[in-house]
Chains A and B, each alone.
Chain A
Amino acid sequence: MLYREAGDFKTSYTSDNQTFPIRFDRYGYYFVLGVAFLIMPLILNDYWTNALVVPFLIYTIAALGLNILIGYCGQLSLGTGGFMAVGAYASYKLMTGFPDLNIVFVILLSGLITAGVGVLFGLPSLRIKGFYLAVATLAAQFFLIWLFTRTPWFFNYSPTGMISAPTRTIFGVPVTGASASAVSMYMVCLVFLVALAWLARNLTRGTLGRQWMAIRDMDIAAEIIGVNPLWSKLTAFAVSSFYIGIAGALLFTVYLGAAEAGEAFGIDKSFLVLFMVIIGGLGSIFGAFAGAFFLIAGPVLLKIMLVDNLGWPTDLAAHLEIMIIGALIIVTLILEPHGIAALWRTIKEKLRLWPFPY
């Protein structure tokens, strides 16, 4: 009886427009934020931070970005890995070129640079749609990785071709490099994720979000009612690439510490984020979280179950893991083609009537 909207009357458009119109949802949201900011830092250890929590936070940012492009604006992209690489290499060049620049600005600027590159590769979307656009963005993926592995300027002529993040601090606490603690890594990624998720929610519920969705659902009708297709598609590419660039910069500076374009940001990363978006739910902010959790936590939990609890050999478990995750993806898509977010919506609608469904 806690979860109900009956009797919860809205008396202004502001309260009707809020993100969590049901009181129980609202308290749940505050509770999750409280746990994330106050309790998690106390109980996190190095293993969980590195294996699960930080990758989850970073990939959620990337999934949010791709969801804006595919889920909200309907423009298919397979260039995510390449755009993450742009974010990573931009942050590397900024960190080595301007050692005094604060890491927060480095990451934000990397996002902006990626946004610019994203707009450039988004230009074909004005002419081509659907699978053809996907192929064009796939070209972006291969071109960008080729550029970063073949142009020594991008990795500062290092003989290995690797880029590695020097130590940078926020308020005197190291957040990148070898001396960064698990908690500081976690907090940086969490703050970026919460801020970006909030911005994404605002963008998608307002005029711009409606323009994107109009283009997604029926571009001809959208243009007839006054949506400028050029503007809405390019803003979607810009915002999406901004998010993906920040995810790439965080992945390199905070999480990996050292990276090589082809290995860290290959085509498999593009597909990983795409799967997150599809499994989580297209056109849903919650879906980005759910999809990223499913695909990051799934393998980790399976490994713990198979190797640590059942004592199976690691290589066998690794192969089984791939098969089980693959099967789970297929099963999820058959049972709920609109992703985990749609499942969650259905549960919510049932709950609204519960326990008196008449």
Chain B
Amino acid sequence: MLDTQPDEGYTTADGRKIGGVAMEMKNITLRFGGVVAIKDISFDIRWGEVRAIIGPNGAGKSSMLNVISGFYNPQEGEIIYKGYRRPRMRPYQVARTGIARTFQNIALFEGMSVLDNIMTGRLNHMKANIFQQALWWGAAQREEEENREKVEKVIDFLEIQHIRKTPVARLPYGLKKRVELARALAAEPSILLLDEPMAGMNVEEKEDMCRFILDVNDEFGTTIVLIEHDMGVVMDLSDRVVVMDYGKKIGDGTPDEVRNNEEVIKAYLGVTDD
């Protein structure tokens, strides 16, 4: 899908190819009763880029991610994905269009092993019907092994071989975050949404996570949209940044542009107008 609009692509300083527009938000407005969580926001996501959404607490970043993953349906505006306007969809239907995500508060399946958790990420690639599964015959067994192989690659990639069969509930926080990333990656998404992938991590774990995110983007060419509070991380990782405040977009551009944007500085440092 990289060449939907080939003329718009460009190459970054470090030699990665950024394609045309993958997804475009057009005038998205999301309200909860009287509260306006997102107010008339438009931005786009290009194939292959790392797109960050930043902003103070309560700015509507997570709501934006929830809109993309179909968890909320905005009252106004539309989402153009892969060149088509996306109709209202349930979250599981959105997942089937190649969008995977991780959560701010880890949302793993605590009662299952790491391997089973990551295997759930392959659900959309498994088609055996209930009778084949009951008899463990034909497509069911074949799929199980093919997908296990894919999952093992993700496990190798994220260096979690040693905890493969451990129940998730027993893992420390940092590893849980990594398993959650593994589950999202196992789906082989076109767009990967990461909601604060580094929240609550120590420096070493953050560095590991940064490395994984860059590797995912680099090796698989996965488009990544991430929300993060650590400005150092955001400025280093991302190609373009959207800045939100009180549900409005106050900045959009490369990390350097955003860093020098008056309004962004105001929102973050709290400069008064007079």
Contact = CB atoms under 8 A, between A and B. Distances in A.
Interface of A: 12-14, 17, 199, 202-203, 206-208, 210-211, 213-214, 216-218, 220-229, 235, 283
Contacts of B187: 225-226
Interface residues of B, number: 39
Contacts of A207: 123, 126, 128, 133, 140, 143-144
Given A17-B148, A217-B109, A218-B107, A211 B134 contact: no
A227 B121 CA distance: 10
Given A207-B128, A217-B110, A218-B108, 11 more contacts: A207-B140, A207-B143, A208-B130, A210-B116, A213-B116, A224-B69, A225-B100, A225-B183, A225-B184, A226-B124, A227-B120
A199 B134 contact: yes
A202 B136 contact: yes
Contacts of B88: none
B265 interface: no
Contacts of A221: 103, 107-109
A221 B126 CA distance: 18
Contacts of B96: 226
Given A14-B145, A207-B128, A210-B119, A226 B136 contact: no
Contact of A202 (B111, B124, B134, B148): B134
B140 A227 contact: no
Nearest to A282: B111
Interface in B98-132: 100-101, 103, 107-112, 116, 119-121, 123-124, 126, 128, 130
A203 B126 CA distance: 14
B155 to A, nearest CB: 12
Contacts of B136: 202, 206
Contacts of B126: 207
Contacts of A218: 107-110
Contacts, number: 102
B123 A210 contact: yes
B1 interface: no
Interface string B130-160: 1001111000110111001100000000000
B95 interface: yes
B91 interface: yes
A228 B130 CA distance: 14
B90 interface: yes
A342 to B, nearest CB: 11
A235 B130 CA distance: 9
A227 B71 contact: no
A230 B92 CA distance: 11
Given A207-B126, A210-B119, A217-B112, A226 B107 contact: no
A235 B112 CA distance: 20
Contacts of A199: 134-135
A211 B92 contact: no
Contacts of A202: 133-136, 140
A220 B187 CA distance: 17
Interface string B228-263: 000000000000000000000000000000000000
